[in-house]
Every structure is written in structure tokens, then in C-alpha cells.
Amino acid sequence: MPYSAPPITLAIIEDDASMLFALESLLSASGFRVVSFTSAENFLESLPGLAIDGVVSDVYLSGMTAVALYTLLAERHHVLPMVFITGHDDPATRALLREAGATSFLHKPFDEAVLLREVGRLITHAPSLPPPTGRTSSA
């Protein structure tokens, strides 16, 4: 019997309902399992019980920003590949993302194929890490 890898699970963090729906639809239709959140705080509360492989997040969320979330996760040694999306393509936002170590950020509106390529690139090149607390190996 051939081995079948479980689908890749992505967390989407987006506080704009229409953008969240669009991201959920695109990523689900592309074969990803999707878990959605409207804030970084909600994501953090759920993280111990999540089995996720990467994150797609708006940069400027209500409350904690995605950059603050990324920094906090790194401080906790919980490295997750993250694609940052933003409607603010300005020097200050680009500098903020670079300083945080972000390797993938897209300006809204972006081409769907570009987002899918970035997600695939990050997931493929993610370091092999032990599962975080609460993550199980079952699908």
C-alpha cells in the first residue's frame, strides 16, 4: 500500500471577514487543511492543541500584530513558517518585517498563484522540528 502523507494544515489569521473567507476558500480548494482565527490572541490560546504546519497572517491585526506574534513564537522556540500579508506596502512595514526575520510577505491584493507558491516554498524549506506541545502525529 503506498504511503499517503497527511494534508498540510495552515492557520490563517485575518481580522477582515471577507479576506478571511477568500483565504479559506483558496487554500482549502488547493488541498490544504485550514484553521482560521480573527486575532493573534485567539491563535495563541488555541496553539497548544493545534497541529499546524504553517501560518498565513495579516500583518496589522486588531490587538497583537503578526510581527509581535512571530517574535513571541520565536522567543518560545516555536518556529512556524509564516507568510505575512499586508495592505500597507510602505518602507516602515517592509523594515518591520525584515527586522523580525520575515522571509515571505505579500502586498494585498496579491495573485493567488503567488500566495500558493510562497506557502509551498516555506513549507518545503521549513526546518524539521519536534512537534509542539499538544501536537499529535495522527491526522
Whether this model's pTM surpasses 0.75: yes
pLDDT of residue 30: 94
Range name among 70-74, 108-112, 135-139 with the lowest pLDDT average? 135-139
pLDDT of residue 117: 94
Which DSSP state fits 47? G
What is the Cα–Cα distance from 76 to 103, expressed in whole angstroms?
Answer: 19
- Domain spanning 9-124 has what CATH number? 3.40.50.2300
pLDDT of residue 130: 35
Whether 11 has a pLDDT exceeding 50, the answer reads yes
Distances (CA, A) of 125 to 47, 58, 82, 104, 120: 22, 21, 12, 12, 9
Could you tell me the pLDDT band of residue 50, with boundaries at 50, 70 and 90?
A: confident
The residue extents of the domains of the chain are 9-124
pLDDT in tens, 58-97: 999 999 999 999 999 989 888 889 999 999 888 988 888 8
CA-based torsion, 95, 96, 99, 105: positive or negative: negative
Could you tell me the pLDDT band of residue 7, with boundaries at 50, 70 and 90?
A: confident
